[in-house]
Structure formats: C-alpha cells, structure tokens
Structure 1
Amino acid sequence: MTFSPLAAFGVALAAMATPAAVLAQTDTSAPVEAPAALFTLDTPIEALMADDRAKAVLAKHLGPVDQHPAYEQFKTLSLRVLAPYSQGMISDETLVKIEADLTAIK
C-alpha cells in the first residue's frame, strides 16, 4: 500500500471543511482560562514599538529604544533574547519591571 500526497491533501481539506455544528459539539466543561497577556518579554521589540502603550513601557525603562543606532539589527528579537547581549543595560531586574508593566496592558 502506498501513501499518496494527494490523498493526504484530501483528508486535510475534508478536515477543514467539517461543519461548524460538528465542531460546536466539543466538550465545553473545561474551565475557561484567562486570556494571555497581550505583550510579554518574548514579543518581538518591533511589535512592542508598534503599540503606543508598550512603546511607553519600553521608553520608561530603557529610553527611546527605536532611536538606538542598532535598532534595525535587534528589532526582530524579544527583550528576553536581547538582554544577554545588552552589556548589562537590560538587567534581570529591569526585565521584571518591564514584564509587570506589559502584563498590565489590556
């Protein structure tokens, strides 16, 4: 018996086309979790800078991040990834404060 890629595509397509009524019959007895924070220390810096509230948090703790000469090189990184390369400018203490402020954004 051989496996056909087209058959796999057909199965995937059929799964996507499952009627909403069938999907709605899932077990809803599980507790509803609180929504995840809008921004975290793992959010790319450029995404933080695109939101005025998150940008204000970064400016409060780090200054004008988007004015840094290397901004274009690190903007796709998260604060958690960038911190070890910041030569101490982004300390663990600073990350804790930033995380608290970012979590408060709704």
Structure 2
Amino acid sequence: MKFAPLAALCLATAAVTAPVAALAQNDAPAAPAAAFTVDTPIEALVADARAKAVLDKYLAGIDQHPAYEQFKSLSLKALAPFSQGMISDELLGKIGTDLAAIK
C-alpha cells in the first residue's frame, strides 16, 4: 500500500496535464510574429533582413561596431543613453516608424 499515494499523485498529474497536451495539439493557426520596435533587441533586428535594412538606413554598420558583442542584447531604446547623442529620440521615432511598417 506504499505505492497508493504515488499512484494517486501520478493520476492527478496526468489529469492536470492532459488538457494542456490537448491544447498543444490543437490545429489552431499560430499567432502572427510580434512586430519589431525600438524595444526589440538589436541582435534580433540584425537577424531579420527587413529590420536590418531599417538599421542600415539610419545606423549603417551598427552590427560591425567594435562593441557590438557588448550591446547586441540591448534594444535601441536602451542603447540610446550610451550613444553620446547619436541615437536621439527623433531618430528612435523614425526607426520605430519604419520598423512598424514591416509586415
């Protein structure tokens, strides 16, 4: 009878996870990918050709910067205060508008 509590626990776990498994197998369409913004990590922007084109338009060669490895996980918005004025609020607005246009 020592296995009864263990069996009950297994049955309870199966009962809880079964609906989740059923949902995972649902044929519902996947949600559309999130839009790019100035809050998206720079490395994610560089990884997408369309978003990289926007970066190249305003910040040509950002992925070639000597410190790229240090800031690539930051967003443009987070990097702006460290850019010595190069990434202004006005520039963030322009980049944000162009990124939002990507479908």
Is the TM value for this pair above 0.5? yes
Aligned residue number for residue 38 of structure 2: 41
Give % identity.
Answer: 67
Residue 20 to residue 101, structure 1, CA distance change in 2 (3 Å): same
1:1-106, aligned counterparts within 5 Å? 14-18=15-19, 20=22, 37-106=34-103
Larger Rg: 2
Judging by fraction of residues, say which structure has more helix.
Answer: 2
Q: Which runs of 5+ in 1 are unaligned?
A: 1-9, 25-34
Aligned residue number for residue 3 of structure 2: none
- TM-score relative to the length of structure 2: 0.72
- TM-score relative to the length of structure 1: 0.70
Count of residue pairs brought into register by the alignment: 88
1-structure distance, mates of 2:13, 2:91: 46
Which amino acid is the alignment partner of residue 39 of structure 1?
F
SS of 1:42's partner is coil
Q: CA-atom RMSD, angstroms?
A: 2.8
